[in-house]
Amino acid sequence: MSETPSIEKLPDEDFKRVLCVVAHPDDMEYGSSAAVAEWTDRGVEVAYLLLTKGEAGMQIPPLECARIRRGEQERACEQVGVSNLVMLDHPDGMLEHTLELRRDVARVIRQFKPDAVVTGAWDIEAPWGLNMADHRVAGLVSVDAIRDADNTWVHTELAKAEGLPKWGTRWLLVNGHPQPTHGVPVSAASLERAVKSLECHQEYLAAIPGHPAPSAFIPEILAGGGKAMGIEHAVLFKGFDLRGRPAGAE
């Protein structure tokens, strides 16, 4: 029988900026926002980059849906201390892994200069069931955009026309990965803020038949993470420390 991988505490003491890249409004609120609350409490600047406006998430006209979801996401961000929210115009439900999307994410990485990028897992199967296409694309694009952002000769227009030289992000943190390696311990206060952040998506959640109340499952998710670390609550990530790769590696 294989041993369960040990879960290390993420060495995030020196983090100054963290960029979270996901597909939709509400994607950060299924547990990850508890880690965000921990970071912002310590003075870490956290930015959210949403690749869509979530306009296809409810069976109402897309413009109305996007307006509702923008407001809900802004309120969710407030709960965990995030003031930097960027929502791109790529089509909800139809994200594609394109050079354009890679460039858009690389642009924000160069602008924001994060120590870590947080994204979601890109496996077809996820802990909650089958992982939708947008989530898979967002994860894979994040991987590629981190590399793009650190390469002078990829998306050269970012430097030449926009004045954005390359930036090397140290950590890629993947939430929802089946083999997590690192965790962020979460206080009771951060857990409560995470629950409230998902509750902010009130109209969206009400449009999903049978969706449980956030207070019914967010604590359970974070307790599972805590158990893996031998503590009360934690957010788990598959952590990739990119600093050790050889210089000039492609």
pLDDT tens string for the chain (250 positions)? 344 557 999 999 999 999 999 999 999 999 999 999 999 999 999 999 999 999 999 999 999 999 999 999 999 999 999 999 999 999 999 999 999 999 999 999 999 999 999 999 999 987 778 899 999 999 999 999 999 999 999 999 999 999 999 999 999 999 999 999 999 999 999 999 999 999 999 999 999 999 999 999 999 999 999 999 999 999 999 999 998 654 444 4
CATH of the domain at 61: 3.40.50.10320
Q: Quote the tokens at residue 123.
A: 């496996």
Q: What is the pTM of this model?
A: 0.94
What burial letters (b/e) apply to 28-43, b meaning 16+ CB within 10 Å? bbbbbbbbbbbbbeee
Flag whether 210 is in a domain. yes
- Location of structure tokens 């998902």: 198
What pLDDT score was predicted for residue 191?
Answer: 98
What pLDDT score was predicted for residue 1?
Answer: 38
What pLDDT score was predicted for residue 244?
Answer: 62
Flag whether 28 is in a domain. yes
48 with 79: CB under 8 angstroms? Answer: no
Flag whether 4 is in a domain. no
Flag whether 114 is in a domain. yes
DSSP state of 239: E
Q: How many CB atoms lie within 10 A of CB 245?
A: 13
What pLDDT score was predicted for residue 127?
Answer: 75
Flag whether 152 is in a domain. yes
Sign of the dihedral defined by the CA atoms of residues 87, 45, 80, 188, in that order: positive
Flag whether 205 is in a domain. yes
Flag whether 143 is in a domain. yes
What pLDDT score was predicted for residue 247?
Answer: 41
Residue 171 belongs to domain spanning: 12-243
What burial letters (b/e) apply to 90-117, b meaning 16+ CB within 10 Å? bebeebeeeeebbbbbbbbbbbbebbbb
Q: What is the number of structural domains in the chain?
A: 1
What pLDDT score was predicted for residue 2?
Answer: 43
Contacts of 248 by beta carbon, 8 Å cutoff, 6+ apart: none
